[in-house]
A and B are shown apart, each in its own frame.
Chain A
Amino acid sequence: MPAQSTGSLIKGLGALAVAAALSTAPVAAQELKVWELSSTSEGVNQNWDEVIAQFEEEHPGVTVKFETFDGESYKKGLAVALASNNGPDVFFNWGSEDSASVARNGLAADLTDMGEDRWLRHIGEGMLGPFSVNGRVYGVPTHSIAVYMYYDTAFYEEHGLEFPKNTDDMFKMCKTVREIDPDVAFTVLGNKDQWRGIHYVSMLTSQYVGPEAMLADMRLQAPEDELFTDPGYVKALELIARMENEGCFQSGVNATTADMSDVVFTTGGGTSDYCGTWCASSFDSQGMEGGYSIAPFPAISDAPEANQNYILGLTEGFQISAKSEHKELAADFVALLLTPEVQAQRLVKAARIPLNGENVSKYADQVHPTIQEVVADLPNYDGFAPILDVDLHGKLVDIYKRGIQDVIDGRTSPEDLMAQIHDEAVKIKASM
């Protein structure tokens, strides 16, 4: 082929390609990247499909790229992704130190002036507290979670037992259960991945120390010489060590993962499991089919004067990346999650306790019975007990988590662990 003809052909093909590209792009396509924790619950995933479909329908030309990660990978990778140019536009976060740290480091967008026509139509301004830093809003809460003792209803009924209401009764129950069957434990604790242990200790510490004093320590606001020195911290650790020593837990607490401990509970190796609201559907899918009841963690018998009317839980929500090029769109997406209908559907299908309960009564008969019980029970508490592993500086969390393993093993005394935490807290406070 002559050179001139080849050139003309290339030009012609180029023109055709440009024309084809123009004809297939009537509007500028936009992609909104959303990151969330992964879930094995069919209801949760189905609910996300529906929310995304609704958003895409309301925003023609926008595609939502929805990506999920397991909790540990998510925590470790989020900040790195946000600092890169490939991070998400909208991302899940816990309303705590996790979201505050992202905000403090300039990785989350300031949403203070974006809520007026969006989420503030559905929730009160006061609810934004868990995602606020120095009076500015860096995230929007969408739902709450709470942690309860799930217990095997059939076991307790069959043996004429009542689930313990305080720790004195709990220790008696640990013995009773072992007498019935030495291979069955009163409760299960899978602390290989360390977060279940710290949830236990968070609850126990809150009962002894009280949430306000605890939060002052966790946020390093207490005076230096008082940080983590309340005797309640030591008592909480002593109590979990005693539970291990008196056989309240199944074998191998520190070698069992949280997931595996759930399996031990659902297969009858333990009569109870301290687990979040998200666990009900997992227990059902593991064959329990609602054969469990819920109760608050037994009250601490040796702290009768303390206000123990708190339940372990927190508010979760979404933040928007400071680097997002679609902040308005991202804010619309977050606002959609707070509309009455979506909130009700997330309760029904994903067991997410809504912050906006406007439409919930419409679907009352479709909500999982355990979640209905939780929704009815939560207003009875004075608030949430703080969770140590989401509200505390990362280094302190690690010392706490590993220290709890050592306390359970008997390698470290509660006093030594708290002294270590105090010293490190003082050091961190000084460096801030």
Chain B
Amino acid sequence: MFSKGREPVSALLLLFPMLVLLGGFIFLPLGQVFVWSLFQQEVFGGPQRFIGLANFAEMGSDRVFWQALVNNMIFAVLSIVLQVGMGLVLAALLDHGVRRFRVVYRTIIFAPIVVSTAAIGLLWGLMLDPNIGPITDWMSLFGVPMPRNGILGEPDLALVGTIFVGAWQYTGFMMVILLAGMQSIPEELYEAARMDGCKGIRAFINITLPSIRNVIVTCVLLTVIGAFKVFDLVYVLTNGGPGTATEVLASYIFRNAFEFSNIGYANAMSVVFLGIALIFGVIQHRMIRK
């Protein structure tokens, strides 16, 4: 055992490898992002020109930046409704509604989360393709008209379509977390409620929901953070289009850095993005402490 006086030194020694890794892979790049956001630069490794806060000022008048931010918010709200909402319903069904093959259902619903997002994007891109995708044919069988450009080619529907695909992937994950929360509720609570004549949906509203409040908050925060981080699904499924209809912050930052030769601006947006992420981080931290 270490003596009391040597403890800080030993602790520092033990922490040193992790501090080096954190410094090298988190704090150093973070500092670099801050510095580069003050410069104009065409390509990585190319000459830089100091322009102060001009990149931040540009964001104010950049229509696409604001649209991307709004799209992230829509993504977050609809994802909460679909992922957490559907996850809650499915978890409740598996917890109290379904009696047989529960594990089979749970596995099937959870399965999409283990598939890579890029593969899911490609798969749904083909499913929704207006020329060869089967969904157009299935819909026409039921007499449901599909837009000429397909869901992903229609500016008003493309974002919703992308959010739906995201929900298809993550609802199972939310369901498993919520189900774990529901299964930790003591059965005695339901028994007591039943004796008082409270069952079914009333029991769900009055017992289940309040008991898993913290789990729901965690799911909501995970979904919001996921919605603001979303990149791969949008990139593969719609490439931010049609037009800028499905552009999100991460894809717009990527595009500025690697397509528009606008590295300084991409860094400035990353700083703002970091600020948004920090706000959600603080909210999450406070909620958990509560």
Contacts and interface: CB of A to CB of B under 8 A. Distances in A.
Interface of A: 75-77, 79-80, 82-84, 101-102, 104-107, 192-194, 250-256, 260, 263-264, 269, 393-395, 397-398, 402-403, 405-406, 408-409, 411-412, 431
A80 B241 contact: no
B130 interface: yes
A193 B42 CA distance: 23
A402 B43 contact: no
A27 to B, nearest CB: 32
Contacts of B134: none
A412 B262 CA distance: 25
Q: Size band of the B side of the interface?
A: 20 to 34
Contact of B128 (A84, A102, A255, A395): A255
B47 A405 contact: no
B135 to A, nearest CB: 12
B130 A398 contact: no
Contacts of A412: 243
A252 B44 CA distance: 36
Interface stretch (B75-83, B147-155, B171-179): B147-155
A104 B128 CA distance: 43
A409 B154 CA distance: 8
A263 B132 CA distance: 10
A101 B242 contact: no
A362 B177 CA distance: 71
Contact of B131 (A269, A393, A408): A269
B40 interface: yes
Given A83-B43, A101-B43, A107-B46, A256 B243 contact: no
Interface stretch (B28-36, B100-108, B252-260, B272-280): B252-260
Given A255-B150, A260-B129, A192 B45 contact: no
Given A405-B243, A412-B243, A252 B129 contact: yes
Contacts of A252: 129-131, 148-150, 153
B244 interface: yes
4 closest cross-chain pairs (CB), A and B: A83-B45, A255-B153, A252-B130, A105-B46
A76 B153 CA distance: 24
A103 B246 CA distance: 34
Interface string B83-101: 0000000000000000000
25 contacts: A79-B45, A79-B258, A80-B45, A101-B261, A105-B43, A107-B43, A107-B45, A192-B238, A192-B241, A251-B149, A252-B130, A252-B149, A255-B128, A255-B150, A255-B152, A256-B131, A256-B150, A260-B131, A264-B132, A393-B260, A402-B241, A405-B242, A408-B242, A409-B242, A409-B243
Interface string B232-275: 00000011111110000000000100111110000000000000
B255 to A, nearest CB: 6
B131 A105 contact: no
Interface string B212-244: 000000000000000000000000001111111
A204 to B, nearest CB: 19
Contacts of B130: 251-252, 255-256
B132 A260 contact: yes
B46 A406 contact: no
Contacts of B47: 105-106
Interface of B: 40, 42-47, 128-132, 148-155, 238-244, 255, 258-262
A364 B20 CA distance: 64
A405 B239 CA distance: 12
B259 A76 contact: yes
Given A106-B46, A253-B153, A431-B40, A76 B258 contact: yes
A394 B241 contact: no
Contacts of B129: 252, 255-256, 260
A251 B133 CA distance: 12
Nearest to B244: A402
A27 B214 CA distance: 68
A80 B261 CA distance: 11
A264 B129 CA distance: 12
A406 B155 contact: yes
A397 B256 CA distance: 12
A79 to B, nearest CB: 4
A203 B240 CA distance: 25
B125 to A, nearest CB: 8
B270 to A, nearest CB: 16
A395 B43 CA distance: 13
A49 to B, nearest CB: 29
Contacts of A405: 241-243
Nearest to B58: A427
Contacts of B259: 75-76, 394, 397-398
A192 B239 contact: yes
Contacts of A406: 155, 242-243
A106 to B, nearest CB: 7
A406 B247 CA distance: 13
A102 B242 CA distance: 29
Contacts of B244: 402
B243 A80 contact: no
A408 B131 CA distance: 17
